[in-house]
Amino acid sequence: MCSEIDYGEVAETWDDEDHLSEIHVETKVSRLGHRDFRLVRTESDGNVRAVDPLDLLGLDRAADLIEQDKESDKHQAMALALCRLLVPSIQKRRSGRHLVVDTWTEAAAQGETLCEEVRIPVSSELARDQREQWRVVQANENPPEGSLEELFWSAVTELPHLKHEFPDPKLWRFAWELYVHLVPQGEGLVKLDWPSVTRKIDEYRENDFAQLGLDLTGRELQGLFRKMIAVTLRRTSKLTGRVALDVIREKYDGTGALNPTEELLLNLRYGSTEQFGRINAGYLTGCGQLFSAFFNDVFASVANGASQRAQTRASNNLFKFVYLFKRYQDLRKYAWQEEALERPGRATGKLPGKRKQPLFETEIVDKKARTPLQQAVILDEIDVLVDGILPELENSKPQYANFTRLFIENDCDFESAAAESGLSLRQYKRRMKETVLPAVQRLEKRMRNAEKD
């Protein structure tokens, strides 16, 4: 077990003496006396540029901070050391990506680009629903229900949202084995070759981590790796803030203690905050100018000492857009699935006639934004489900029947049903969409075919 092994020292990467000499601290003081610290670097061409927060993870003092953590909890320190190694392996492109770094645009959030991106008839209907949802959300002064942190996370990642960073003992064992394979014991403080480490991780992934020698299936190990990447995003986003503060204290005489506003400004710039899913802004480079505008509005509302109401308004504007953009992403994904079903030569098994979008597979219109016609259709389908399908489901798959009944009793609201089930919203949605609802649809199809016979 991990507790029986000393994992040794944390590996270094950069030489602080060389790189810190290039870093300077710029300080602005607001009219209320709050300090905003900004790290900049003088490049070889003489230009001064802002330091990328993720570059701070390469400083030796990041390793020093992890070594300090080791004194109080060596297991947590090992996990953080592993997270630091995994940063270059976070994928933003290709199938199986971890971060969804799409350019934020109002046109997309309003549904205007959906028909261009997916050229199938159903896209027009989805785009109309998205425009209506945009109108309803923007007309409401309050943001959508739920957690901005969880919503932001789901909008910019394809990773599980972990309530506890290490909920599964298997994840601890996986993390340990991966770390000792990447940094063999006895190497001490060495200069790591980041490309070599990343190539090794890619090799492990291609072989379903068989090199680790764990008694788990390849699918389980790939799932644990994705959880480990989720932990990496969380923990390294905190670590960048700690490194930034450490550098500032060395470079800026008289830093002293930060007040709550200064801490928030530092975390917005170099660490992590709830508004942005507790993900460091450095990971989101590529989201475009609109993302930057929302970030700057939130930052300015704090830096300029705006009233609490103004700060809340800036966060609510971000909340509304993220909700709409995430909803657009879900509709686009559904349209892509429909497009794949309609490709020539693909055996779809579809029944004759126009394919109806399953009500419970993708909740197209938010409960509060349904038109009377949509609500009538939903109520009619629920009656069919309760009277005809649910009794059969209780006989064949009682657990699925319980999930479905809970969903119906909560007015088809995922969040309320999830809360009552004891699962997180993400877990409940995944269970419903990946197992329960497909089973309901298969049963409904069998019953319909039996009626024809």
Delimit the domains of the chain by residue range. Answer: 2-92+162-258, 358-453
Residue 380 and residue 374: Cα distance in Å, rounded?
10
What are 242's two structure tokens? 């700690």
Residue 419 and residue 412: Cα distance in Å, rounded?
13
Residue 284 and residue 208: Cα distance in Å, rounded?
28
Residue 108 and residue 167: Cα distance in Å, rounded?
36
What are 384's two structure tokens? 């069919």
Determine the average pLDDT of the residues in 286-314. Answer: 90
Where does the pLDDT of residue 95 fall: very low under 50, low under 70, confident under 90, or very high at 90 and above?
low
Kindly state the DSSP code that residue 34 receives in the 8-state scheme. Answer: -
Tens digits of per-residue pLDDT, 235-290?
999 999 999 999 998 887 777 888 999 999 999 999 999 989 999 999 988 888 99
Determine the average pLDDT of the residues in 378-397. Answer: 62
The closest of 290, 297, 285 to 322, measured between CA atoms, is 290
Where does the pLDDT of residue 30 fall: very low under 50, low under 70, confident under 90, or very high at 90 and above?
confident
The closest of 149, 151, 156, 201 to 178, measured between CA atoms, is 201
Residue 166 and residue 164: Cα distance in Å, rounded?
6
What are 278's two structure tokens? 């507790």
Give the pLDDT confidence score for residue 366 in this predicted structure: 45
* pLDDT, greater one: 137 or 400: 137
Tens digits of per-residue pLDDT, 330-383?
888 888 888 877 665 544 444 334 444 443 433 434 444 444 444 444 444 555
At 166, give phi and psi (nearest 5°): -125, 75
Give the pLDDT confidence score for residue 382 in this predicted structure: 53
Give the pLDDT confidence score for residue 17 in this predicted structure: 45
Residues 6+ apart with CB under 8 A from 371: 132, 365
